[in-house]
Structure 1
Amino acid sequence: MEGSTTQDEIRQEEKDGSGSSEGGQTDLKERELRLVLLGSAGAGKSSAVNALLGGLASESDCTGPETPAPDCQKRRGTLAERQVAVVDTPDCLCVERPAEDVRRQFSLCAALSAPGPHAFLLCVPVHRPSNLELQILETVEKVFGPEAVSKHAMVLFTRMERLPEDVSLDEYLNAERPDLLELVQKCRDRHHPLQLGSGAEELVEKVEKMVEESGARFYTCPLLREAERRVKEKQEEISRSRGGKGGDDREGIRAEAERSVDHLEVEGIAELCVSTTDASFLRRLWDSAVGWLLWLPNMVRGSALLGSIVGLFVGGPLGGAMGATVGSVATEVGRRKQKTK
């Protein structure tokens, strides 16, 4: 498992490795802010990218499923007079893919955010169950180290239009959503509601405060340090291949070098990939079923059918047990709704 470094090691590395691109300056507001976006399918990451980079979110970003990018992507922009680089990761960092694909995605994420991100932003739809998001945080801890979450992660709530009317986010979390509250507490109570057309500058301020409280200029760990070393080596190689005439295109050379680093040694890959396809599928299926139960009325009539469909779709003894459970939950939810009418 990739462990995090101590704060003293981070400070010493930053002191030794302050590159010319930063001019040796220590003022956070004068440097690029690197953000890594995490989240499952339909979590609103596209809306977050648009908000952070000044784009306009489309209707599909707000209400419909998103088309996931096959690989980690990096986009740059300006927000609140800050240069911002956003690394958008595939769904769950692709842990349901084969081991080599998983390794490649984590390598790309590390290279695109090297020498280290200032924040990991976990996009969480406010109306959905959070089992998958908790798994994402655990994965980040395994790969990048526990301090990636405890000191540099924040929950970014999306789909805020689905929040019940006349209820504040904090009231909603404390009274109705202990699962989402658990995510927030794992990130040391750091969270932010993503509102279309507003709130992005406040998010930047919260990130800056988080970085200041961490005691380091950005987060780093063995994987990120190795990624930065590989990127610099590739930059030099590209520059030499161009006869040393790459000085006028440093940004382009850097981008090319980052995209080439896709084979880092990411520890814990085998553990992350064991049975993740089945587990991820079953979790999504269960979350979807529970979501329907919470939002749709009159489920008593369809409870048996729902259980049968789940059992048939999953198959085998596990499918039968899961179908029976879903059907029982549906029936009980329906009965309670009938009593409250």
Structure 2
Amino acid sequence: MSESPTELRIVLLGKNGSEKSVVGNFILEMGAFDPIYEQSRCVRVVGQVERRSIAVINTPDLLDPHISLDKLSEELHWCVTLSDPGPHVFLLVLQPEEFTQQEGDRIRKILNTLSERSFDYSMVLTTHEDKREHMAEDHPLNQMVRACRGRQHLMHLRDHTQLIADVDKIVKENGGDYLTCDVFEDATSDMVQGKEEIHRSKTDGSLKSSSEEELGKAVLEQGASVQWYNFDTFTEVGLTFLKGKVEEQSWSGEKCVSPLRIVLLGRSDDKKKTVGNMILQQGAFPGIGLCWFVWQKTAM
């Protein structure tokens, strides 16, 4: 018997950003995603649901026919990174009255690009009434349900337990394993190799490290710097400082692509929320009442 994963990772794909946000909030049982905000980047939110860690990776509209290949590749790459070591389930948030053959072809291309086994880990989710019985057999949504091994969930029933049960069933059918996305294996290899090859000689007063742990020790040995900012100047000055810190971690003239991790500590949840939103440059943090985190790619 397969064991349940310690962290369940779910990727949301679809055209309607508002509906994906509603689905993500429904899964996590909290207001993690803003349904009004038009999401332009992949965002990962982790929450504790019934003593279980669930990570939801919400994607922007990757079905947009006008999205550039560079943007699509970038977001798929980041989706893979945020779902590392791999997603357990893809939820395709689709509506029968809106879903077209072109969008169906695009979803197939996206999922097949990630892995030839992606559909083994996928399920169609609709938030409206089931209208499939009134649709032709060759309707794009019916085709997509068949591609997902006949899996479909109707979320308009508002049954959280049933949705999680359907997700767990997919995990069980795949032996409890996550999907290994192999499309960016070479790029990931280069990233890991680059991280391990961060060497800056002591003679020029720079860091010398072969791992993140040694890098941290080297920073402490050289003396940590403390920067003070108030809310009025943080957006302009603070983000400039953070950008500089990222660019300092470069090698071979290329910008470091590993995630920048920042911990916010303090008594005031509202102030920490404000600072977090300033750093991410969007309203990513809702009201803070639980210990949870948002992980997203953001350009500085």
Report matched runs for 1:106-125 at 5 Å: 106-125=76-95
Report matched runs for 1:275-314 at 5 Å: none
Deviation, 1:209, is 1.3
Query: What residue is the counterpart of 1:285 in the other structure?
Result: none
Aligned pair 1:193/2:177, yes or no?
no
Following the alignment from structure 2 to structure 1, what is the Cα–Cα distance between the partners of residues 65 and 84?
A: 21
AA at the equivalent of 2:87: P
Aligned pair 1:176/2:117, yes or no?
no
Q: Secondary structure at the match of 1:28?
A: coil
- For 1:154, which of 120, 123, 130 is the aligned residue? 123
Deviation, 1:227, is 6.8
Deviations 1:152-183 (A, max 9, x none): 0100112x2xx3xxxxx2xx313335422221
CA contact (8 A) 1:93 1:102 kept: no
AA at the equivalent of 2:62: C
Q: Structure 1 unaligned runs (5+)?
A: 1-25, 164-168, 247-255, 263-341
Following the alignment from structure 2 to structure 1, what is the Cα–Cα distance between the partners of residues 192 and 68?
A: 28
Q: Secondary structure at the match of 2:94?
A: strand
Deviations 1:215-244 (A, max 9, x none): 351111323655765676659744332118
Report matched runs for 1:215-226 at 5 Å: 215=175, 217-223=177-183
Q: Structure 2 unaligned runs (5+)?
A: 197-209, 221-245, 247-255, 260-300
Q: Secondary structure at the match of 2:171?
A: helix
Aligned pair 1:78/2:48, yes or no?
yes
AA at the equivalent of 1:260: V
Q: Which structure has greater helix proportion?
A: 1
- For 1:243, which of 203, 212, 217 is the aligned residue? 217
AA at the equivalent of 1:143: T
Deviation, 1:47, is 0.3
- For 1:44, which of 16, 19, 23 is the aligned residue? 19
Identity within the alignment, %: 26
In 2 relative to 1, CA 232–147 (structure 1 residues): closer, same or farther, beyond 3 Å? same
TM-score normalized by the length of structure 1: 0.52
Aligned pair 1:260/2:260, yes or no?
no
Deviations 1:225-269 (A, max 9, x none): 5576567665974433211899xxxxxxxxx9xx9359xxxxxxx
TM-score normalized by the length of structure 2: 0.59
Deviations 1:5-45 (A, max 9, x none): xxxxxxxxxxxxxxxxxxxxx6215x100111101135610
Q: Secondary structure at the match of 2:170?
A: helix
In 2 relative to 1, CA 176–78 (structure 1 residues): closer, same or farther, beyond 3 Å? same
CA contact (8 A) 2:57 2:83 kept: yes
AA at the equivalent of 1:175: H
Number of residue pairs matched? 208
Following the alignment from structure 1 to structure 2, what is the Cα–Cα distance between the partners of residues 157 and 93?
A: 16
Q: Secondary structure at the match of 1:205?
A: helix
Deviations 1:36-88 (A, max 9, x none): 11011356101011101112599x94xxxx54322111111122432111111
Following the alignment from structure 1 to structure 2, what is the Cα–Cα distance between the partners of residues 244 and 93?
A: 45
Following the alignment from structure 1 to structure 2, what is the Cα–Cα distance between the partners of residues 242 and 95?
A: 44
Following the alignment from structure 1 to structure 2, what is the Cα–Cα distance between the partners of residues 240 and 134?
A: 47
Q: Secondary structure at the match of 1:34?
A: strand
Query: What residue is the counterpart of 2:203 in the other structure?
Result: none
CA contact (8 A) 2:63 2:103 kept: no
CA contact (8 A) 1:115 1:227 kept: no
Query: What residue is the counterpart of 1:211 in the other structure?
Result: 171
Q: Secondary structure at the match of 1:219?
A: coil
CA contact (8 A) 2:80 2:181 kept: no
Following the alignment from structure 1 to structure 2, what is the Cα–Cα distance between the partners of residues 192 and 157?
A: 6
Query: What residue is the counterpart of 2:115 in the other structure?
Result: 145
In 2 relative to 1, CA 230–238 (structure 1 residues): closer, same or farther, beyond 3 Å? farther
